[in-house]
Amino acid sequence: MQHAIGDHALLADGRTAALVDPDGNIAWLCWPRVDSSPVLFSLLDDTQGGCFSLRPAAASGLVASRRYHDAGLVLRTEWRVDEETVLVDDALAWDGPMALTRRVRAPGAGCAMEVRFRPAFDAGRQPATWRIDETRITASGGGVSLAVDAPGEWRVEDGTAVARFDVAGDGDCMVVLGDTDTTAEPAGIDATIAAWERMLAPSRAAHCGSLAIDVMGADACARLTNTSVAVLLGLLQRGGGVVAAPTTSLPQWPGSSRTWDYRYCWLRDASLAGIALARTGQVHAAHALAAFLGDVINEFGPIPVFRVDGQKPPGETELHHLRGYRDARPVRIGNAAATQVQIDAPAEFIEFAWTLTRHGTIPAGVRAATVRCADWLVANWGEPDHGIWEIRGRPRHYTHSRMVAAVALNGAARLAAPGILAGDGDRWRRTANALRAEILAGAGSALELRSDGGGADAALALMSHVGFLPPDDPLQRRTLDLIERRLDRNGLLDRYEGRPDDLADPCGPFVFPTFWMATALQSAGGDGSEHFRAAVRARGSLGLFGEVVDPRDGTPLGNYPQVQSHAAFLNAATESA
């Protein structure tokens, strides 16, 4: 059974990520890296995608509650079996060798538990070969070997490994998936909770602003802030980039072909995530991310998309043998956006560097990369691109790209003045002023998607936030009014008018520009609460945001959880704090 996207819980350890469905099954897991081939993916094909489930053996077992522990991405599921309670804690171990650890406790008389394990190697095309060694079973295929330890005897039935064991009293039972040299460590869950407590400690001083508190209340805002920071930290790869989302091919509309692979690092998204990390006290993590992005830029230039190790991603391919999430096809590996020109991406990196100057010095590599981005914008701002929405087809002159380029160049010039950047600040400022003047000269009554029109664009809600125009500027107000009149769906925002790409399928409204609109209205003296409330309500049952929302029921759609949505929440929630 494929559950609603927003009913999955994220586990992440800075190396890979997993999604746990409401039945206790690991519905998504790439191994050994977040962009590796998935070994469990019933989320995309419940026949060929394998399973790793842990639940009461009795059919009467029902889930009473699911929540994260107070610290980090450690999931607690409470099962009820007749009159008994069973507690299952799931986590990707933060320290030591990679391991997906599942701890079972039954405070009362207990019950029998069942583990079912069937990995899906090579996108489900290669069956596993098995080896049983007492309480360990090893599955191999496609160049990958995975072992599962459980306190019961294993047997293989119709290609699925099954083990049963009894749990009762105060003792813990451990079920651990890992590489073949991983052993079950009963302290794994507690150690991971302690690691999350240490990592999240710098964010305890982050405070929610008045808009967030008025809409959510202080306690709920603090909890969602904690979860959102954990999502960013968990998906920030150790020594590398942050993925846009840990999944591929979850559709932007039910059953549609808008199915993309987000398991890579976008320069734009990573920069915005870094800004959110810095604003919420995670300065060390923000500096590490900036250093990684700087290394990539210094080697390849400001390319828009790359792997989490800094290398170029694979070309986009389609896996036609997979059914997809609820028949949304095709399933894609790789992303053609890597070949696009996106002028706003290096501009966002410059904003990230500017943010870091408020939190101490920035490394030499980041300074050099910022100079390279500014010089690149000077040379390329007049060229067409694909924009923040990565619109496929021929490139165009997108207003948002040009707007953030003008702001970024002006910011780079301001960093050059005191010698923070060793570049031609005067040239950057002259280019910024010329670009700004050109945008305003062609604006008409409001700014639109492209320099030649095209209608409303939700990304232009960032206009005052990035400093292109003051919040109370008449053009700013008219642009926000245009966005609201043409893109609003019960408080949520479509990204743009019409269908400027070649895909006929619709797309759900987006979460992150809805948060941008909320803060834009608030800073202009208006009321952003309707948009903030709509965006916050669009999170899933575990507090996780997708990229877009199903307007029919307000539930998450698209790849999940989405880093830019969580970053936008953090930036909006801490605005004016």
> Consecutive sets of 10 residues in the chain, 577 residues long: mean pLDDT of each?
97 97 98 97 98 96 96 96 94 94 90 97 95 96 95 96 91 92 67 96 93 97 97 96 98 97 98 97 97 98 98 96 98 97 98 94 93 98 97 95 98 96 97 97 95 96 95 96 97 92 91 98 96 98 98 95 98 85
Q: How far apart are CA 63 and CA 61, in angstroms?
A: 7
**Structure confidence at residue 224 (pLDDT):** 97
Q: Where in the chain is the domain with CATH 1.50.10.10?
A: 206-573
**Structure confidence at residue 107 (pLDDT):** 87
Q: How far apart are CA 8 and CA 232, in angstroms?
A: 17
Only one residue has tokens 């026949």, namely: 47
**Structure confidence at residue 504 (pLDDT):** 86
Q: How far apart are CA 148 and CA 150, in angstroms?
A: 7
Which own/partner contact pairs does 142-147 have at CB distance under 8 Å and 24+ positions apart? 142/37, 144/31, 144/32, 144/37, 144/39, 144/119, 145/179, 145/180, 146/31, 146/39, 146/119, 146/177, 146/178, 146/179, 146/180, 147/177, 147/178, 147/179, 147/180, 147/182
Q: How far apart are CA 337 and CA 352, in angstroms?
A: 21
| Contact (Cβ atoms closer than 8 angstroms) between residue 566 and residue 276 | yes
**Structure confidence at residue 119 (pLDDT):** 98
**Structure confidence at residue 44 (pLDDT):** 98
Query: Interhelix angle for 399-416 vs 364-380, to 10°?
Result: 130
Query: Thinking of the domain 5-180, which architecture would CATH place it in?
Result: Distorted Sandwich (2.70)
Query: Interhelix angle for 218-235 vs 188-200, to 10°?
Result: 110
Q: What is the DSSP letter of 341?
A: -
Q: What is the CA radius of gyration of the chain?
A: 24
Q: Which backbone phi and psi does 288 adopt, to 5 degrees?
A: -65, -40
Upstream peptide bond of 561 is cis (omega within 30 degrees of 0): yes
| Contact (Cβ atoms closer than 8 angstroms) between residue 188 and residue 93 | yes
Q: How far apart are CA 77 and CA 20, in angstroms?
A: 10
Burial 541-555 (b: 16+ CB within 10 A, else e): bbbbbbbbbbbeebb
DSSP, collapsed to helix, strand or coil, labels residue 461 as helix
DSSP, collapsed to helix, strand or coil, labels residue 197 as helix
Q: Which backbone phi and psi does 451 adopt, to 5 degrees?
A: -65, -25
- What fold is seen in the domain 206-573? Glycosyltransferase (1.50.10)
The CA-based dihedral angle spanning residues 224, 258, 388, 498, taken in that order and rounded to the nearest 10 degrees: -110
Neighbours of 103 (CB within 10 A): 23
The stretches of 383-464 forming alpha helices (DSSP H) are 399-416, 425-441
Closest among 224, 197, 205 to 72, alpha carbons compared: 197
Single pTM value for the model = 0.97
Q: Where in the chain is the domain with CATH 2.70.98.50?
A: 5-180
Secondary element (H or E) of residue 110: strand 99-118
